[in-house]
Structure 1
């Protein structure tokens, strides 16, 4: 067993779907699976309607043990060979799962849980972990296409290198291909050096596109050789990155992005592209932070 996959559960339907995904990830990785439920005590949610006496701690622990048992049974049904453990922890769920991520190779959560507000497409737990988790975070959302590729959002930045490695490794585990997608506009593309010193601001037609194609090839350098059995398709798109990735996710089994790219501002832990796909992608999303993020 090489490590442990961690999944957060809260009894909601999205969290149980996340358990299924986490069990499969653990099986593919020959890893263990740890099911974690965190709850606050005393509870700070104010119920609507007439006041009712809050449940005592014993009742809450019985309820949480029941939902964790359901999650454990579900995981073992999906992946009988995986070693499944569980933990019920008193504490703020965001803090607990962030701490758990320090010992995991992957954290899996649902897109929304019982604490989500109607209308929110990605819950606070998912977004927080994507920004602060100490290992890659897989947010289970949408309806993945089982036969589809793993779509990799590649921007050529140093920070995006960890996402490239994760996408290739994940494709090898799943027996899937990688669709490496790079989107650019004249606003985010570096300006190539001028070809004619007499016209320092001129670029010949197609020069920016060619430079972006080279950037994508350089971002994948070495990975295709390390994973020769992974089919790779390169796609360079002239257009907004968020829209291109969301569209590609409609036929993907997984979308992989870095936490921040070359367009990010220093100090931001989660970029606008990562946040957009967490809210709107049609398939599960893996957000991979670099060691520098």
Structure 2
């Protein structure tokens, strides 16, 4: 089956950047692109509507349809080979966009859309879509013209992380760029203790070597599917959020994972490190759901 990329689009500057990135992803994947614009059902309570008045809901739908079609037209102007389809869907934007991408291979979002609070660096709509999404989500941020020819995969080797590695390797292979895999050993208490007691330094070094061996084995289990890819890997010690934000300054994309909700619920649990990246990273972030 042909793969599908979905993008949330509302004609704001952030969504224009997301639209271009989504079109690029669809072209690289040979995928169809669904351009989704969400709209609210107008509240007509307390107002009498005459026979001559336009139906507010019909007007809202037509406006949303025009916005989605505008997005499709822009895609066809820049990438005529991409098959793009407009969708105008009624409901809360974050939830509706996530539902529209339920069976997609990728959902692409801008960092902020209409109604976003200027104090937030990732808007509430994007955060809601992330929390409800069942597929990998690419949140576009940073300067689109700045390139480093490198993708960073941030993995937690104490959790199941193969989907994160697989997504990062596939993306690097499609783009023809380098890949760096980073695992941050975030144990500040033992590092602080080691600074006070030099005798524990050997134990810390042993733990780091063991983690590096585990990371190398995980990479090798995925690497065979991507011949020609020569990843660099690193085990770092310290604050995961800070170190990964620093790594994002030298990357075109940083890929991380988020646990799926349990008990039959759709969506992902966005942890504190991923939230830090979403609000502070200098490049786009791909969040991949893992079990």
**In the alignment, does 2:86 pair up with 1:71?**
no
* 1:192-213 deviation per Cα after TM superposition (whole angstroms, max 9, x unaligned): xxxxxxxxx9963511221221
| Map of 1:135 onto structure 2 | 135
CA RMSD of aligned residues (A): 2.6
Distance 1:138 1:188 in 2: 33
| Map of 1:90 onto structure 2 | 90
| Map of 1:110 onto structure 2 | 110
Runs of 4+, deviation exceeding 6 Å: none
Q: Which moved more, 1:270-279 or 1:65-74?
A: 65-74
| Map of 1:81 onto structure 2 | 81
Distance 1:204 1:57 in 2: 66
> SS of 1:255's equivalent?
strand
| Map of 1:217 onto structure 2 | 216
Instruction: Provide structure 2 residue ranges, at least 5 long, that are not aligned to the other structure.
Output: 45-53, 191-199, 261-266
Distance 2:206 2:85 in 1: 55
CA deviation after TM superposition for structure 1 residue 43, in Å? 5.4
Q: Is the 8 A contact 2:107 2:137 kept in 1?
A: yes
Distance 1:6 1:188 in 2: 43
> SS of 1:87's equivalent?
strand
Q: Is the 8 A contact 2:268 2:289 kept in 1?
A: no
- Residues 287 and 188 (structure 1 numbering): CA distance in 2 closer, same or farther, change over 3 Å? farther
- Residues 209 and 158 (structure 1 numbering): CA distance in 2 closer, same or farther, change over 3 Å? closer
- Residues 71 and 183 (structure 1 numbering): CA distance in 2 closer, same or farther, change over 3 Å? same
**In the alignment, does 2:156 pair up with 1:155?**
yes
Distance 1:260 1:223 in 2: 20
* 1:103-160 deviation per Cα after TM superposition (whole angstroms, max 9, x unaligned): 2110001000012111100112222232321110000111254343111001213432
Q: Is the 8 A contact 1:246 1:277 kept in 2?
A: yes
| Map of 1:207 onto structure 2 | 206
* 1:217-272 deviation per Cα after TM superposition (whole angstroms, max 9, x unaligned): 132132222112223111221211111111111121111000149xxxxx981111
Q: Is the 8 A contact 1:175 1:230 kept in 2?
A: no
TM-score by length of 2: 0.84
| Map of 1:50 onto structure 2 | none
CA deviation after TM superposition for structure 1 residue 78, in Å? 2.9
| Map of 2:227 onto structure 1 | 228
Instruction: Provide structure 1 residue ranges, at least 5 long, that are not aligned to the other structure.
Output: 45-53, 190-200, 262-266
Q: Which moved more, 1:105-114 or 1:231-240?
A: 231-240
- Residues 29 and 57 (structure 1 numbering): CA distance in 2 closer, same or farther, change over 3 Å? same
Q: Is the 8 A contact 2:7 2:36 kept in 1?
A: yes
Q: Is the 8 A contact 2:41 2:60 kept in 1?
A: no
CA deviation after TM superposition for structure 1 residue 2, in Å? 2.2
CA deviation after TM superposition for structure 1 residue 99, in Å? 1.3
* 1:162-217 deviation per Cα after TM superposition (whole angstroms, max 9, x unaligned): 1111000111111111111111133599xxxxxxxxxxx99635112212212321
| Map of 1:173 onto structure 2 | 174
Q: Is the 8 A contact 2:141 2:284 kept in 1?
A: yes
CA deviation after TM superposition for structure 1 residue 56, in Å? 2.6
* 1:85-105 deviation per Cα after TM superposition (whole angstroms, max 9, x unaligned): 111111121221121121211
> SS of 1:204's equivalent?
helix
* 1:255-274 matches, cutoff 5 A: 255-260=254-259, 269-274=269-274
* 1:10-59 deviation per Cα after TM superposition (whole angstroms, max 9, x unaligned): 12110111000000000000000000111111259xxxxxxxxx993343
Distance 1:156 1:43 in 2: 50
